Amino acid sequence: MASYGETFHQLRVGKGLTLKELADEQASVSFLSKFEQGQSKISVDRLMHLLKKMNVTADEYFFLQHDRYLNSPMPVEWREMGAANALTDLTNIFLISSGLAMRHQWKKLYARLDVLKENAKKSPTVNNVLGYDYGRMMLANHTGKSIEHSSDYAVKYLKQIDDWGIYEILVLESFLTAMPLADVELFTNIAERKLTANESIMYVAGMHRGFLVSSFAYFMSLDQFALANENLSKMEALHKKRDGRDLTANFAMTILWCEGWFKYRVDDKVLGRSKMNDATTMMRLCKEDRMFRIYDDFTAEIVSAPNDHDFHYGTVIS
For residue 182, the tally of other CB atoms under 10 A from its CB is 9
Using a 10 angstrom Cβ sphere, with 0-12 exposed, 13-18 middle and 19 or more buried, the burial of residue 233 is exposed
Contact at 8 Å (CB) between 137 and 150?
Answer: yes
The rounded distance, in Å, linking the Cα atoms of 109 and 139 is 7
Contact at 8 Å (CB) between 269 and 299?
Answer: no
For the entire predicted model, the pTM comes to 0.69
For residue 173, the tally of other CB atoms under 10 A from its CB is 17
Of 79, 90, 75, the residue nearest 167 (C-alpha) = 90
Question: How far is residue 217 from each of residues 57, 211, 222, measured CA to CA in Å?
Answer: 41, 10, 9
The rounded distance, in Å, linking the Cα atoms of 262 and 259 is 5
- Give pLDDT, residue 81: 46
Domains of the chain: 4-74 (1.10.260.40)
Mark out the alpha helices in 123-248 (DSSP H runs).
126-143, 152-160, 166-175, 181-196, 204-221, 225-242
Q: What is the pLDDT of residues 210-252, one digit of tens each?
A: 889 999 999 999 999 999 999 999 999 888 876 444 456 888 9
Q: What is the mean pLDDT of each run of 10 residues along the chain (318 residues)?
A: 70 77 89 87 82 73 50 40 62 85 89 94 92 92 78 93 82 91 94 70 71 93 96 90 61 95 96 97 91 92 91 56
Q: At what angle do helices 29-36 and 4-14 cross, to 10 degrees?
A: 120
End-to-end CA distance of the chain: 44
- Which residues, 6 or more positions from 258, have their beta carbon under 8 angstroms from its beta carbon? 213, 216, 232, 235
- Give pLDDT, residue 6: 80
- Give pLDDT, residue 84: 43
- Grouping H, G, I as helix, E, B as strand and the rest as coil, residue 80 is helix
